[in-house]
Amino acid sequence: MNEKDHYFLLYLARNIGFHGTMETSTGKIAKGLDISQQTVSRKLLEFAEEGLIIRSVTSTGMKLALAEKSREKLRTLYGELQTLFGKQLTLSGILKDGLGEGRFYMSQEQYKKQFQSFLGFVPYQGTLNISVDKDAAVAFVATKKQLYITGFSTKERTFGGLKCYSVLIAKKIPGAVIVPDRTAHTLETIELIAAVNLREMLELENGKKITVQ
Amino acid sequence: MNEKDHYFLLYLARNIGFHGTMETSTGKIAKGLDISQQTVSRKLLEFAEEGLIIRSVTSTGMKLALAEKSREKLRTLYGELQTLFGKQLTLSGILKDGLGEGRFYMSQEQYKKQFQSFLGFVPYQGTLNISVDKDAAVAFVATKKQLYITGFSTKERTFGGLKCYSVLIAKKIPGAVIVPDRTAHTLETIELIAAVNLREMLELENGKKITVQ
DNA sequence: ATTACTAGGTTCCGAGTAA
DNA sequence: TTTACTCGGAACCTAGTAA
């Protein structure tokens, strides 16, 4: 098997399911992958030959299931990417005084709703400002999936959007780093939120060191 | 860019590092990927052309760094695999009487230490035995990362190794499924452990239904 | 409808080799 | 030593079409 064919396999896995079977046809797959029906036919024959899939031609098309061998291949690929991304980077910094603005932002219903759906929790009303090394912070967020919280307007004013990255604070509390689109500080300072009052939970005071991963 | 070239990219990412740079040569990469030096040379030129990598030829070879575009591509691929593997499968079963043996096992220091380092918690001394559908259980653990707790011997007796899979019990309690190497039951019964007394925390009694994910 | 064979065209690879 | 060009051949893809 040409290892490049993993993509074909990935497509099949997504549609068939990891353990399921599926009634489909070479034409449908061809459309999905944007290649010819002939190529799909040929590839599927090759894959079956190599024991990657289980295949049976029916009157209306064919029935497909992944074989263990292809599950193994996908797991390997996944593992490789995990080692690449999974190097649980940590970011450390010093707690400093916030501007009290975070509290106001976090009290807005429209932010709260989005945090709930993106992060799975409603943030405690207040943010933690941490001084960090800018380059380290940039590298850190680069490895994280970026979630985007959209802005909105009320009668009184406009609230901007913000990027947010799910993290684990002090090795135990699930939370997030938030980066407002329009912010006074660059990544020299990051803002942390969590479902709980972090200052209390972690018995923090200004100047203390905090690590997120 | 041919999407199949992701493999080439993955190799580069692993060797260069996600954000780093690296002094290397087309010959070395060719050896690593088991393709010709000429192909590597051609591919790298193509990649640079497409803004996937940053490339500069030196007297001894070349200096390479990934560009943001290729990081993005790898992230996408990773994301696709995550949705494939990450479909938080759940497994449900009925609580049944244990043999009281679990308690004895979990009291062994050498097991405790390993659980602490692999799972991040020391299990409560006692296991929960759950009757489940065997096939569902096999499919369930297949999607989980397998952690292996090694066995050991004391003066009195030998303790076998066990496989263990990190799970979330009843949607809220972090725990693990353990599968002893030598076990009376096959996967018709799974054993659960957690940092806390699950019977109390979940107000369980025999015959109740439990779900893990 | 389907699957899948044949034929012809395109893409891709690597040995040889220049710089 | 390098990188990277040329070019012949292998691998691959798809239109046409049989079953």
CA gyration radius, chain B: 24
Helix ranges restricted to H, B50-181: 68-86, 101-106, 109-119, 134-142
Chain C nucleotides near the protein (CB, 7 A):
1-6, 12-16
Query: CB–CB of B204/B159 below 8 Å?
Result: no
Q: Are the beta carbons of B64 and B16 closer than 8 angstroms?
A: yes
- More confident of the two residues B76 and A111: A111
Question: Can you tell me the mean pLDDT for A7-11?
Answer: 85
B37 — pLDDT class (breaks 50, 70, 90): very high
Q: What is the mean pLDDT of residues A46-58?
A: 88
Residues B104 and B203 in one domain: yes
Of B95, B150, B156, whose CA–CA distance to B127 is shortest? B95
| Same domain flag for A123 and A192 | yes
Domain co-membership, B99 together with B204: yes
Q: What mean pLDDT is reported for chain A?
A: 82
Distance CA B168, CA B90 (A): 9
pLDDT digits (tens, 9 = 90+) for A179-191: 888 776 677 888 8
Q: Are A139 and B19 inside 8 Å of each other by CB?
A: yes
More confident residue, B206 or A115: A115
Contact with chain B for residue A148, Cβ under 8 A = no
CATH number where B27 lies = 1.10.10.10
Residues B131 and B49 in one domain: no
Q: What confidence category does residue A2 fall into, taking pLDDT thresholds of 50, 70 and 90?
A: low
Q: How far apart are CA A57 and CA A63, in angstroms?
A: 6
Residue B37's nearest nucleotide, by CA–C1', is: C14
Same domain for B99 and B203: yes
Tell me which chain A residues have a C-beta less than 8 angstroms from the C-beta of B79: 145
Give the mean pLDDT of A8-30. Answer: 86
- Whether residue A143 lies within 8 A of chain B, CB to CB, comes out as yes
Q: Which residues touch strand D (CB under 7 A)?
A: A 2, 35-36, 38-39, 42-43; B 25-28, 37-38, 41-42, 44-45, 57, 60-62
Asked which of A35, A56, A84 is the last residue of a domain, the reply is A84
- At B185, the pLDDT band (50, 70, 90 cuts) reads low
Q: What tokens were used for A202? A: 């972690």
DSSP 8-state symbol, A70:
H
Q: Which residues contact A26 (CB under 8 A, 6 or more apart)?
A: A37, A40, A41, A44, A61, A62
Give B177's pLDDT tier (boundaries 50, 70, 90).
Answer: very high
**Predicted pLDDT of residue B8:** 84
DSSP, res B156: S
> How far apart are the CA of B205 and the nearest CA of chain A, in angstroms?
30
Counting beta carbons within 10 angstroms of the beta carbon of residue B131, is it exposed (0 to 12), middle (13 to 18) or buried (19 or more)? middle
Residues A115, A176 within the same domain: yes
Angle between helices A26-33 and A37-49 (to 10 degrees): 110
Return d(Cα A68, Cα A70) in angstroms, integer. 6
CA distance A100 to chain B (A): 32
- A109 with A69, same domain? no
Q: Are strands A21-24 and A209-212 parallel, antiparallel or unpaired?
A: unpaired
Contact B93, B130 (CB under 8 A): yes
At residue A175, the 3 state secondary structure works out as strand
What is the token pair recorded at B41? 């040379």
Tokens of A99: 């501007």
CATH number of the domain that residue B196 is part of? 2.40.30.30
Q: How far is CA B90 from the centre of its chain?
A: 17
Q: Could you say which DSSP state residue B37 is in? A: H
> Do residue A118 and residue A70 come from a single domain?
no
**Rounded to the nearest 10 degrees, what angle do helices A6-16 and A68-85 cross at?**
110
* B209, β-bridge pairs: B94
Percent with pLDDT over 70 in chain A = 91
Q: Which of A69, A84, A99 is the last residue of a domain?
A: A84
Is residue B113 located within the same domain as residue B28?
Answer: no
Q: B197 or B133: whose pLDDT is higher?
A: B197
Task: Provide the domain limits for residue A41.
Answer: 3-84
Number of domains chain A contains: 2
B112/B81 same-domain check: no
Same domain, B116 and B203: yes
Q: Do A77 and B81 touch (CB under 8 A)?
A: yes
